[in-house]
Amino acid sequence: MKSYIVSFCLMLLVSGCVMSTEQKMNQKVDQLVGQMTLDEKLDMIHGEGFNIAPVERLGIPAINMSDASMGLRITPHPAAKGLEPSTAFPASILLAATWNPQQASRYATAVAEEFRARNIHVLLGPGINIYRHPLCGRNYEYLGEDPYLAAHMVVPYIKAVKKVGVLPVAKHFVANNSETQRKNSNTVVSERALREIYFPAFKAAVQEARTPGIMNAYNLLNGTYCGENSWLLKEVLRNEWGFDGMVISDWTSIWNSEWAANSGVDIEMPGGKQTHALAPEDIKRMLANGSVTEAEIDSKVKNLVRPCLQMGLYDANYAKPSLNRREAHAAVALGTAREGIVLLKNDEAFLPLNPAKDKKIIVIGPTAKRTPTTGGGSGGVTPENPISIVDAVRTIYPSAQLLEEFDEAAIAGADVVIVCAGLNDKQILMSYNGAGSIAEEQATFNKRKKGLVIEGEGRDRSTFSLPAEQNTLVCDCAEANPNTVVMITAGGGIDMLPWIESVKSVLWLFYPGENGCQAAAEIVAGQVNPSGKLPMSIERRIENNAANKNFSLSWDMKTPPKKAGVRDYWDVNYDEGVFVGYRHLDAENIAPLFCFGHGLSFTTFSYSDLKVHQANGGDVTVSLVVKNSGSRDGKETVQLYVGDAESSVPRPPKELKGFKKIQLAAGESKPVTFELDRAAFSFWSPEKKAWTFEAGEFDLFIGSSSRDIRLNRRMNLDSVN
């Protein structure tokens, strides 16, 4: 009895210590905020350029922020500030194409280290909006079309950033899936589509990764701007999901002072004279007339202070210059490209090249010499010395010839022709390496910009096609020489029908970062076995995309606008609901050009021994054996999809509910196991306004892509909870 009492007392003591730690933090926040004057509070929630304003008399420094999707973006260029340039990492969508959560962690760690080395506290990323349509200008910044994949890549990313001591801000919350008139567009979307498609990555960021920051989107959501939407920011984000961090407005994204003051957004960026919704004079007026309370203002300030205290951002010795490990970070960037570049097509196993016979190599195309490393806008990082495709090829094949213009005789006489095509952006054509070069490169851009399809922030692509001259070049090369390889740099899908049947191989580089072209050259040479898988579908025709009729505002702006406060807006209807990407293509039995999850290897993999077990609690265990049945070592991403055989609501034929990337030596076999809980079989019921499981038959599909299903099993799930 005595030992029991002692144990019980110890338990109470330990519990008290845990509670005491939490209470101490809350007390510290309360005390700090309690010492602030009203003016200091209002300065803090109104922002200060790229900073949270300091309260120097209380020892609170300015909290510095910077954009980051592909690395630390410093503007103007770092050289102008006397800083060492940041590492330009591959695009986020290439990171998603690795299907490797461990690589997401390594990538995020490296990016965060460069932040902390430069005394920048807040990383404005990662971007986790859904790839809804290929023409969205910022698809390259996001993690693809599937909510399960995006959620399972963002969680290790956010955890890694936090571990370094940098505060991540997941963005843009929510349903910001186009750039055209983004501040004047109203996303009209069902709650079911929000819950099943557009919310999951954000929910995982909050509940699994415990992100300390969220950024609201520019657009309206069902008639209310996201930054002024109390249902979104208070009811869902805070009350339902338990978020206790800071909500940051996207730059100039909130407009109505009263709505914003009471919506749950904590800080208006960039503050100053550019933004006025949370301007101090307006808040004082609302406090005087009772349209906002001081308790509401205090809650905003506490939401800003709490995560900063928790993460040690107020520490005097926060900066860690020793973390600026550029060589190590470049290695992470290269490793990401090696795992994320996708081999889309490889007829007759043309790649890898045979050094005994493929001796005369020609490289041609607009992106051969000045390869785009990233898209444009806040996600872009301008590299100091990027490696182009032709430079990378020459590191392995020194005699490779660069052709500036099409030469039929030279093309016909080559053993291999590598055509470099894709999308581009102004900043990628501008070199910052030497004095006076900016003006020269600007002039070059002005001459060439009519031939570009631009992909970047603030604008959507104008067309699904490559520029006409690029299609002509690929077709002419393939006609002159059947041994043609195409390398594409792009963040979203493109029309390949003019030439896809005529070329031997296609490599999708996305935007590969400062040294990712080296990875592409290594794949061509067989030094690296490709293992990237598409995180989005590539349609044969743009009309095959579910959102195509309701993507851009360009044809809707002729209709009379609606109003939100003082601003006009137009509706963008998400009529496709949950049928986004492969969900739509599968439901309508439309063959994509390249399906979600697709990616070829230089080896082959066989799947066998499927076993399915349902536990008493209702959870399902799925196991199988994967064998490398080829002659090369390689990596395979095993994908598990679930389909509901019969449902009371329309559901996609299958949805991704598990994936694992494994390394296998030639001839090696490994077991792969998936655990599925009841949520994997559930849908959001519009009637019940809750996640709902309906007992019955479900299909399990295991494959190498969404269309390459190797094993399947139908099983009956009862109503056991």
| pLDDT value at residue 471 | 96
Average pLDDT, the chain: 91
Q: Please state which of the ranges 72-76, 394-398, 438-442, 699-703 shows the lowest mean pLDDT.
A: 438-442
Distance of CA 96 to the CA centre of its chain: 7
First to last CA, the chain: 38
Residue 98 has pLDDT above 80, yes or no: yes
CA distance 150 to 141: 12
Buried/exposed 290-308: b ≥16 CB within 10 Å, e otherwise: eebeeebbbebbbbbbbbb
| pLDDT value at residue 639 | 99
Q: How many residues does the chain have?
A: 721
Mean pLDDT of 672-679: 97
List the one residue out of 268, 213, 314 whose CA is nearest residue 43.
268
| pLDDT value at residue 78 | 65
Mean pLDDT of 338-362: 96
Q: Is 106 helix (H, G, I), strand (E, B) or coil?
A: helix
The dihedral over CA atoms of 264, 267, 271, 275, expressed in degrees to the nearest 10, equals -10
CA distance 218 to 288: 29
| pLDDT tens for each residue of 186-228 | 999 999 999 999 999 999 999 999 999 999 999 999 999 999 9
pTM: 0.94
Q: Is 450 helix (H, G, I), strand (E, B) or coil?
A: helix
| pLDDT value at residue 75 | 67
Q: Which residue has the higher pLDDT, 438 or 369?
A: 369
Residues 6 or more apart in contact with residue 250 via CB below 8 angstroms:
171, 172, 215, 216, 217, 218, 227, 269
| pLDDT value at residue 565 | 82
| CA angle (600 as vertex; 136, 505 as ends), nearest 5 | 80
Q: Which strand (E) or helix (H) includes residue 695?
A: none
| pLDDT value at residue 441 | 42
| pLDDT value at residue 680 | 97
Single-letter residue type at 687: E
| pLDDT tens for each residue of 318-328 | 999 999 999 99
| pLDDT value at residue 80 | 62
Residue 466 has pLDDT above 70, yes or no: yes
| pLDDT tens for each residue of 232-274 | 999 999 999 999 999 999 999 999 999 999 999 999 999 988 8
Number of H helices, E strands in the chain: 18, 26
Residue 640 has pLDDT above 70, yes or no: yes
Under 8 Å between Cβ of 57 and 63: no
Strands (E), 523-668: 562-564, 567-573, 605-614, 620-628, 634-644, 655-664
Under 8 Å between Cβ of 706 and 639: yes
| pLDDT value at residue 690 | 97
Under 8 Å between Cβ of 247 and 266: yes
| pLDDT tens for each residue of 554-592 | 556 677 889 888 789 999 999 999 999 999 999 999 999
Residue 14 has pLDDT above 50, yes or no: no
Mean pLDDT of 467-493: 97
Mean pLDDT of 675-692: 96
| pLDDT value at residue 556 | 60
CA distance 105 to 208: 14
| pLDDT value at residue 10 | 46
List the one residue out of 251, 173, 167 whose CA is nearest residue 209.
167
Percent of the chain surpassing pLDDT 90: 82
| pLDDT value at residue 274 | 82
Mean pLDDT of 397-412: 97
| pLDDT tens for each residue of 415-441 | 999 999 999 754 444 332 333 343 444
Q: Is 7 helix (H, G, I), strand (E, B) or coil?
A: helix
- Residue 266 catalytic? no
Residue 305 has pLDDT above 50, yes or no: yes
| pLDDT value at residue 18 | 53
| pLDDT tens for each residue of 655-674 | 999 999 999 999 999 999 99
Mean pLDDT of 75-101: 86
| pLDDT value at residue 442 | 45
Q: Which of 250, 282, 460, 644 is catalytic?
A: 250
Mean pLDDT of 536-558: 86
Domains present along the chain, CATH in parentheses: 2-314 (3.20.20.300), 325-525 (3.40.50.1700), 603-717 (2.60.40.10)
Mean pLDDT of 335-364: 96
* Token pair for 653: 């034929």
| pLDDT value at residue 334 | 98
Q: Please state which of the ranges 78-87, 91-100, 196-205, 456-465 shows the lowest mean pLDDT.
A: 78-87
Q: Please state which of the ranges 82-86, 419-423, 629-633 shows the lowest mean pLDDT.
A: 82-86
CA distance 365 to 461: 20
